[in-house]
Each structure stands twice: as C-alpha cells, then as structure tokens.
Amino acid sequence: MNKNKIVSLVSSLIAELGEDVNREGLKDTPRRVAEAYAQIYSGYSEKTKLDTSFVMHKDLSSSNLITISSIRFYSICEHHLLPFFGNITIEYKPNGKVLGASKFVRICNHYARRMQIQERLTQQVLEEIVGITDTEYCKVSITAKHLCMMMRGVENDTAEFNTSAEHGHLNSNI
C-alpha cells in the first residue's frame, strides 16, 4: 500500500466534496486516513501471514464439538466502501488438532480486513479452518450490521444480516 498516494487521493476527494483540505481539522485528515487504511485493509498485506499452528490432542475424539463465539470483526462493504461489523461464531470437531482461541480471531481478521461481502467472508473463514484442521465438521455463522443499509438507501438501523456456511455433517452422538 502506497501511503503517499492515498494521502494525495484523499486530499483530492476532500477537495471534490467541496471542502478546503488545508482548513484546521482537515489538514491532517489525508495522513490519518492513509494510516487507518493500512490497518483496515491489512488483510491484503503479504506481511499478514497467518500463524495457524495447532496443538495435537490425540485424546480428543472427533465427537467433541468446540465452539468459539462472539468474535467481533469489522470489514468494509465492497459495494459502497462503508463498514459492516458484527460477530462470528465458529463450531468445529477437532479431529485431534486443536487451534488456540487467538488463531480463530486472527483467521477472522485476516479475511475481514479487506473489501468484502459477508457471504464471501463466511466462506473464506470456513475454508481456512477446514484446510488447517482437516476437520470433518465445521460451521461458521456471522451476524452483522451494514452501514450501507443504515446510512443510505433504506436507512434501517435495526436489520441484522445473518450468513452461515457448513462443511461436513454433525452426527447426533455429540
């Protein structure tokens, strides 16, 4: 990401919107936006390698079900470049491979921190976990609010968007 180019582009955008980029309160905004974008869009960075080491637990049978819920995420809608945010819940059968709780958060952030749609985010998180753990069962559910629905268009601030993706089948022995 070229921060100097983003500073220039944001300066041009502010001017096109009818504001004076040099006025007090706005003069440092292009730099701040470039710094914020570096974090918000860090999912594109090649420096963001996922550390997804796991611990082998042969004593955990594949009938155990692990759930991690309320993983808070923030992303940017690729249709309007406005934020959407919410919570991710992940369920999986460990199959002898247990990920540390922070790894799930890292996986979610890796895919959320880019221009995104919720449906794709759900699928990418699922595929990453299945690929790493070789689990027989995994389900990812996301509940989110979208500022593109809240601030524009229908202007509805109560609607929540729910998506889920599932791999394998959950047997009734759990």
Task: Tell me how far apart the 2 most distant CA atoms of the chain are, in Å.
Answer: 66
Q: At what angle do helices 29-40 and 3-16 cross, to 10 degrees?
A: 120
Give me 150's structure tokens: 């809240």
Give me the pLDDT at residue 104, please: 93
Give me the pLDDT at residue 64, please: 82
pLDDT < 50 regions, the chain:
174
Give me the pLDDT at residue 130, please: 93
CATH code of the domain occupying 54-167: 3.30.1130.10
Give me 34's structure tokens: 């470039």
Domain boundaries, the chain: 3-40, 54-167
Q: What is each CA distance from 149 to 117, 146, 157, in whole angstroms?
A: 13, 6, 7
Given a contact cutoff of 8 angstroms between Cβ atoms, the answer to whether 102 and 68 are in contact is no
Give me the pLDDT at residue 63, please: 64
d(CA 44, CA 58): 35
